[in-house]
Structure 1
Amino acid sequence: MTLSFTAHWRDELPATYTALLPTPLKNARLIWYNDKLAQQLAIPASLFDVTNGAGVWGGETLLPGMSPVAQVYSGHQFGVWAGQLGDGRGILLGEQLLADGSTLDWHLKGAGLTPYSRMGMDALCCVQPYVKALPAKPCIIWVFPLRVRYLS
């Protein structure tokens, strides 16, 4: 089965993103993935055969139809209006079209710097907070060098 992606953000909401490629991780390896969830989402097992790198999961490649963007938005943070916010280290790779007509966002956490990153950060993710989150979040993959990246 071939995965199909749409670019809703790029096509319909041009003021809400900056087009941006993820920063590839150096020496990354796929160490775990959720096989049951991958099957439910019709993600082919071949995407998890990453013997020569981390592939799409490590920001090394994109699948046909993916149009990566860092999203910008406004809202409250810590109970106070914060004005403009945005994806400081996350990148929306694309929106997968599912068999039932719905879509599923493929979003990399720790994907590198974006125009919305805070000063002084490398925009990658430390491992500890995400290891704690693993049992609570239905994530697909874990890619490591010394930092973690997961698709949620």
Structure 2
Amino acid sequence: RRSQGQPICDQTDIYLADTLGELGLFLRLADVVVMGGSFAPALGGGSVGGHNPLEPARLAKPIVTGPDASNWQAVTRMLKQAGGLVSVLSPAELPSVVGPMLANPEAARDMGERARRSAEAAAAGLDRLWLALQTHLPAAPSRRRP
């Protein structure tokens, strides 16, 4: 656990990045991303609703979530349909899902690439929507500098 100051060494199999401000670094270093906050109910905690799966998707990472991705239902569904995200019901299922991804890096990269393409397509749709909406909005007032 990062919050406990544990070092990363050659024997480290799993490292829990549980501090603020460093997620981008850890996402870039990861071969597979298991989304935090999506296992809380399965572990006896309250609902967290999962964290944003678009972040690892944009970095072309294969994504695994737990049963509670309620804050990101549409995004999770989109990434699943694209083949870039897999959901499991409990932490006990993680070895059987993550293990094959780590054993077959090419398949994991392909899965991550599907996640990236899906995230990019969604962003392009938002860009098109914004452009269409702008034609119906009044022009912004000009601002003069004093």
- TM bin (shorter chain): under 0.3
In the superposition, the TM-score normalised over structure 2's length comes to 0.25
Identify, as 1 or 2, the structure richer in strand: 1
**Of the two structures, which has the highest relative contact order with CA contacts closer than 8 Å and spacing of 6 or more?**
1
Pick the structure with greater CA Rg: 2
Identify, as 1 or 2, the structure richer in helix: 2
In the superposition, the TM-score normalised over structure 1's length comes to 0.24
